[in-house]
Amino acid sequence: MRNVTAAAAITCVLLVLSCSDSSADTFVANPGSDSVSVFSDTATGDVAPIRILAGGNTQFSHIGGIAIDELAGEVFIVSNTLGDSISVFSVGADGDVAPIRVIEGPGTGIVRPGGLAVDPINDELFVCSSGNNTIRVFARDAAGDAAPIRVLEGPATTLSFPIYPFVDLTHDELFIGNMAGDGVVVFPRTATGDATPIRTLSGSMTQIDNIRGIFVSLDFDELYAVERDNNRIYTFPRTASGNVAPLRVISGPNTLLNQAQGVLLTNSNELMVTCESGDSILYFPRTADGDISPTDVISGPSTLLDTPVAIATTTAAGGASGFVAPLSVTVIFSDDFEAGGTNAWASVVGGS
């Protein structure tokens, strides 16, 4: 079973959730066919998706990032990159269905949106507005021509075509894949205006060039970054800053990486990566290094994968659980919770 790994610790106060051992659903955005394919966590090889979200009623056109809010049972999708819109569907939506709500309009300030991240604890949606080098934060339930509740923008931010966000609730930090800046910039989660990053990972030693997906593992205190053009997956310490070399690099012809885009870490400690030109999803051991073959591949005509980019996953099949690059949340109570403990762990996964 492949579920999203626990990645961020929070304090549970008045939060009651049910836990589930059911399998996960993986959501994949296909800009080539303007569709979202949904696979079970047991999918392998040339397998058909269990659901396809596509058709005129979805309003999909040049789709991009995906984020899942498992608490609300919703999936957020950049439904039109060129039209600057984000559509929200039920996490179990299937076929040619209309969105529950759409965020779009001049008041949003969104220009060419990339990746999304949902923070279900603070009820916020993070949007990488790549076209105007801003991060725009909305109320999670925003609809229509809604104004953001805060905007991260300005020369001090060093944002340059920001493409993928990741929210770390443990350290209250916001990670941004800075595509034209060839690196990762990190801010306080609530940063606004022309804020300076608290860390910047960039430079020749990092090897990062044209970054795409990012993911942070709190279990292993690691940051994973995908590079599209050179087909590499980098692993850095979570707190890496400056011009530092990666801990590991997955790269080479045996990897089958072909314009890599989104990345996740599963509960099986596998890196899960979408390949835009390869029309595939690849799996690698977390500790993989060098020119290593994937341990599993989802690919072939039955998959209906078509230039896949963003990827997200839920933790309970068909249920209101969360991911994916967009963003998802898994909440796991500590062993002492029933005895009065208050700790819980939430993984917050970001996406395109």
Q: Mean pLDDT of all residues in the chain?
A: 84
Q: Which residues contact 143 (CB under 8 A, 6 or more apart)?
A: 88, 101, 102, 103
Pairing label, strands 124-129, 113-119 = antiparallel
At 281-320, the pLDDT tens digits run 999 999 999 999 999 999 999 999 999 999 988 863 222 2
At which residue do the structure tokens 């609730």 appear?
Answer: 169
Predicted pLDDT of residue 338: 42
CA trace torsion 148, 152, 154, 156 (10° rounding): 170
Q: What predicted TM-score, i.e. pTM, was given to this entire model?
A: 0.84
At 195-208, the pLDDT tens digits run 999 999 999 999 99
Judging by beta carbons within 10 Å of its beta carbon (0-12, 13-18, 19+), is residue 23 exposed, middle or buried?
middle
Predicted pLDDT of residue 315: 65
Pairing label, strands 113-119, 101-103 = unpaired
* Structure tokens, 255: 């990897």
15, pLDDT greater than 70: no
DSSP bridge pairs for 25: 40
Predicted pLDDT of residue 23: 59
Residue type at 46? D
Can you count the helices (H) and strands (E) in the chain? Answer: 0, 27
Predicted pLDDT of residue 167: 94
- pLDDT over 90 for what percent of the chain? 71
**What structural domains and CATH numbers belong to the chain?**
9-15+24-348 (2.130.10.10)
335 or 44, which is more confident: 44
DSSP bridge pairs for 27: 38, 312
1, pLDDT greater than 70: no
Give the angle 242-183-122 at the CA atoms, nearest 5°: 100
Whether 223 contacts 202, CB under 8 Å? no
